[in-house]
Amino acid sequence: MFRSILMVAVLVGLLWGAVAPKKVPVLCYHRFSSGELDSMSIKTAVFEEQMAWLKTNGYTVVPLDTAMQYIQGKIKSIPAKSVVITVDDGHKSVYSDMAPIVKKYKIPVTLFIYPSAISNAKYAMTWEQLSALEKTGNFRVESHTYWHPNFKKEKKTLSPEEYAKSVDKQLNGSKKKLEERMGHEIKYLAWVFGIYDDALLVDANKAGYAAAFTIDRQHASSGDNAMALGRYMVVSKHDLKAFARMVDGSEDRMPKDKKEVVKY
């Protein structure tokens, strides 16, 4: 009797292992600062402390594309304690404050960029700086729409025709512009303010993105829609204990009807 129960338990375990979703924590940063902070910034010293913690605790920072190929079943395995680092918007502090730490720890970082700001907005990097970062081999540029719209507001204020045209510009226009400027395929998208709906997920897929990311506080998982994968936003209020909970998966999954929407 005991042997039969044991065999059933083993079989259930094997079956679960075969169908269990593949999960990877994806972290999202915005701005870095050595001085005064706003709600979307993190102290440069704290970011370095986090990178040191990952190394000490046996985590491996892997490229976003590697993690996505694993989640989508294109590669069989990645390091057991893998984590992905992404940064939204393209603020100058990525170049001045973050890059030296990235170089020190030799970690891959994905930059989600909206091209309208680059070489235009005072807070943003230039195209030359983005190219310089990619040449280090540590950074990779992907899409964050064209000019950082609020899709929810646009859908309410624009006519259906105008809204459709705007969505096309944000998804296809951004992809095209970044590919022209950076000289490589743009495969991934980060939803602005974490705003998306079913129609936008379809539009992102049609635009040719391999995956798109929210700021729903959960691991990116093979069990979720590839156009709405989770990320953990890391900001000034998060201490090292909170950071550890994001990475190790112990942070509670955010309910679907309470997605985090923030002001950048």
pLDDT (0 to 100) of residue 40: 86
pLDDT (0 to 100) of residue 76: 94
Each residue's pLDDT tens digit, 201-255: 999 999 999 999 999 999 999 999 999 999 999 998 899 999 999 999 988 555 4
The DSSP code for 252 is P
**Burial classification of residue 202, based on how many CB atoms lie within 10 Å of its CB (0-12 exposed, 13-18 middle, 19 or more buried):** exposed
Name the pLDDT band for 258 (thresholds 50, 70, 90): very low
CA 33 to chain centre: 20
H-assigned helices in the chain: 2-19, 44-56, 64-71, 92-93, 99-105, 127-135, 151-157, 160-168, 174-182, 198-206, 240-248
* Cα 95-49-54 angle, rounded to 5 deg: 100
**Burial classification of residue 127, based on how many CB atoms lie within 10 Å of its CB (0-12 exposed, 13-18 middle, 19 or more buried):** middle
Q: Of 154, 180, 177, which Cα lies nearest the Cα of 167?
A: 154
**Model confidence at 126: pLDDT above 50:** yes
Q: Of 228, 232, 196, which Cα lies nearest the Cα of 211?
A: 228
Whether pTM > 0.85 for this model: the answer is yes
CB 68 within 8 A of CB 23: no
Quick one: tokens of 203?
Answer: 């539009």
What is the average pLDDT score of the chain?
90
Name the pLDDT band for 259 (thresholds 50, 70, 90): very low
pLDDT (0 to 100) of residue 253: 59
**Model confidence at 139: pLDDT above 50:** yes
Each residue's pLDDT tens digit, 20-65: 899 999 999 999 998 777 888 999 999 999 999 999 999 999 999 9
CB 170 within 8 A of CB 149: yes
Quick one: tokens of 161?
Answer: 């025709």
> Among 40-44, 81-85, 144-148, where is mean pLDDT lowest?
40-44
- Which one of 3.20.20.370, 2.170.120.12, 3.30.70.270, 3.30.70.20 gives the CATH number of domain 23-258? 3.20.20.370
**Model confidence at 4: pLDDT above 90:** no
**β-bridge partners, 32:** 42
**Model confidence at 5: pLDDT above 50:** no
